[in-house]
Copies of this chain bind each other. A is one copy, B any other.
Amino acid sequence: MSQPHRDRVETESDTAQLDLGPLPGLIGYVLRRAQLCVFKDFNDTCGEADVRPAIFSILTIIDRNPGARQGEVGAVLGIKRSNIVALLNEMEERGLAERRPHASDRRSHALFLTDAGDALLRRLDGLVEKHEKRFVDAVGEDGRDQLIDLLGNIQNAADLGDDR
């Protein structure tokens, strides 16, 4: 609410130079723009293996928690039960993961990586490391730690405000 509103004179060169107003100071706006950049870089890096962020995260969780149930994996990643089905179907069709009968609950599926899934994940870990390094180089190790800490606080604030 500072500058007078005046119709822009036509002095654009090639890139538009518009007034963004309060947007660059809003956490949500900056968060969104940054997240898109990081995911784009992830896809540029891991797209060669045809792996999107969601697939990578599921691979990781199953690897660290073999035998976990579908619902648990979805819950911990914030993916709804109904939405993880297609992702796991894709992973099974690609031979990366398996649904096996759960030992003590016949409603549940226990999830495991195949050898191919395990091999892919090890390859991805290298690619993701390169991807991550690009951004750590930009903000420094300390910056990365600060960033993750701040984002954790953002998440906690939202979780608290959930019951409003």
Contacts and interface: CB of A to CB of B under 8 A. Distances in A.
Q: Which 3 A-B pairs have the closest CB atoms?
A: A138-B157, A37-B158, A16-B72
Interface string A1-39: 001010110101001101111111111111111111111
Given A22-B60, A41-B161, A164-B44, A147 B150 contact: yes
A119 interface: no
Interface string A47-62: 0000001000100110
A75 B20 CA distance: 12
A98 to B, nearest CB: 14
B53 A10 contact: no
Nearest to A118: B5
Nearest to A113: B5
Given A18-B73, A60-B21, A132-B27, A37 B155 contact: yes
Given A28-B42, A34-B155, 20 more contacts: A5-B63, A5-B64, A16-B71, A18-B61, A22-B60, A22-B128, A24-B148, A27-B148, A30-B151, A30-B155, A31-B31, A32-B39, A37-B158, A41-B158, A44-B164, A134-B158, A137-B157, A147-B147, A147-B150, A147-B154
